[in-house]
Amino acid sequence: MKNFSDWTMKQDHVAIVLKQILVPVEGKDAVIFPPTYADAKENYNIDTLSDGRRVVTIDSEGAQANRMEPLFKTDEFKALVPQISIEAKGQVVSLLDAGHRLGDALIRSTPLGKEATDAFEQFLKTGDATTLGRLAPTSLVFGVWDSRGTGAKLPRIVRSVVRGWDVDRLTRSAQYNPAIDYLNLEGLFDEADKKKLEGDTKSATAQLGYVHVPAPGGHGGVLVRGEIVRDVTVNLIALRRLRGTDDATTQTLRRYILALALIAACEEHDGFYRQGCLLVPEGKAEWQLVSRTGERETVTLDKAALVKEASAAKTALKVSEDRSLTFSVEDARAEVKGKNEEKAAAAAKKKAGAKK
């Protein structure tokens, strides 16, 4: 692909970006249902800007990454990265589905745990990300934070987020009506119970569906009056901060990770974000190469060429083979015990210091 090597080594360009306009399948004026969050005001993640506009998060960076990464389990792309599966008491999970990737708790109690820790420590001490790239390349593509171990943290190379601009929040109400009048069904409730249960929506009787239950003011979705935008950024500066054991390995590692990042970024993704939120692109969006001066030029990403680049770099980098691992309950139990003892010792030390 033209200029592919330049993107991995030269400092002229900072990112490859896409601004994709999305619309609900029902049409622009359709109501959509964003995700809800327990701690967010009104449960939707809506921010009010200084000019009064309201912006809703439809799919966060983390959610977008979690949608992209399983792409590398498909027949078309699975040969490009190691396929690592972990079995835990009958449950089998792919590393490509683990939320914290190589830094996930699932990994630490497997034979891969020691290798992962060594790779993170190597990165912290020397800046060499070669072993990380060999073990779990998508951890470099989508970012990884070994927050519960070494503390090593690598930023996302590919970042994506979906937002809706100029939104109004809607509500909806519902009413549950039981199939029959249970309260007056002879022998089911006594007279004292009837008076207590009528209108008590939190009782076990209501939860089991024996009485009328109103549900007013629920989440009614949002109406997006502006645009729904999916912003995708492939960060070339973050890519060029990846280093290998030598110059040749550095170049190979960057080519490999960039090819994987661009494959993930340019693949058309399923727009079914959640119930009531099915979005499709409006028109054709163009990828742009952004220079340090802010100049932009349109670029074409050739998927076949990217797959070829990734495959060649994978071979040259000597990426790990596919593996099937077993989660050790004993190791996990020992880790938890050790953490509890560590916390108890720290608390005891703090208490002893307070008495002095």
pLDDT tens sequence across 198-215: 667 777 777 777 777 777
- Please report the pLDDT score of residue 11 as a whole number: 86
- Please report the pLDDT score of residue 40 as a whole number: 54
- Tell me, yes or no, whether 339 lies in a domain: no
- Tell me, yes or no, whether 158 lies in a domain: yes
- Tell me, yes or no, whether 86 lies in a domain: yes
Does residue 145 share a domain with residue 102? Answer: yes
Does residue 189 share a domain with residue 124? Answer: no
C-alpha to C-alpha distance for 197 and 183, rounded to whole angstroms: 8
- Please report the pLDDT score of residue 23 as a whole number: 96
Per-residue pLDDT tens digits for 37-86:
876 556 899 999 999 999 999 999 999 999 999 999 999 999 999 999 99
Measured CA to CA in angstroms, residue 214 lies from 36, 172, 192 at distances of 21, 11, 22
Does residue 124 share a domain with residue 100? Answer: yes
Tokens linked to 87: 């079995």
- Tell me, yes or no, whether 27 lies in a domain: yes
Give the β-pairing of 323-326 and 54-59: unpaired
- Please report the pLDDT score of residue 186 as a whole number: 67
Domain boundary among 220, 236, 256: 220
CB neighbour list of residue 286: distance below 8 Å, 6 or more residues apart: 18, 298
Give the β-pairing of 84-88 and 323-326: parallel
- Tell me, yes or no, whether 20 lies in a domain: yes
- Please report the pLDDT score of residue 89 as a whole number: 87
Does residue 182 share a domain with residue 259? Answer: no
Residue with token string 């060594």 = 118
Listed as ranges, residues in the chain with pLDDT below 70 are 1-2, 39-42, 186-187, 192-199, 217, 356
Does residue 47 share a domain with residue 16? Answer: yes
- Please report the pLDDT score of residue 42 as a whole number: 67
C-alpha to C-alpha distance for 334 and 325, rounded to whole angstroms: 19
- Please report the pLDDT score of residue 17 as a whole number: 97
- Please report the pLDDT score of residue 232 as a whole number: 97
Number of domains forming the structure of the chain = 2
Does residue 290 share a domain with residue 199? Answer: no
User: What is the value of pTM for the model shown?
Assistant: 0.86
Which domain covers residue 245, as residue numbers? 4-165+222-331
Does residue 147 share a domain with residue 41? Answer: yes
Does residue 283 share a domain with residue 183? Answer: no
Does residue 197 share a domain with residue 135? Answer: no
Does residue 241 share a domain with residue 107? Answer: yes
3-state secondary structure (DSSP) of residue 326: strand
Domain boundary among 191, 220, 249: 220
C-alpha to C-alpha distance for 253 and 259, rounded to whole angstroms: 10
Give the β-pairing of 153-154 and 158-165: unpaired
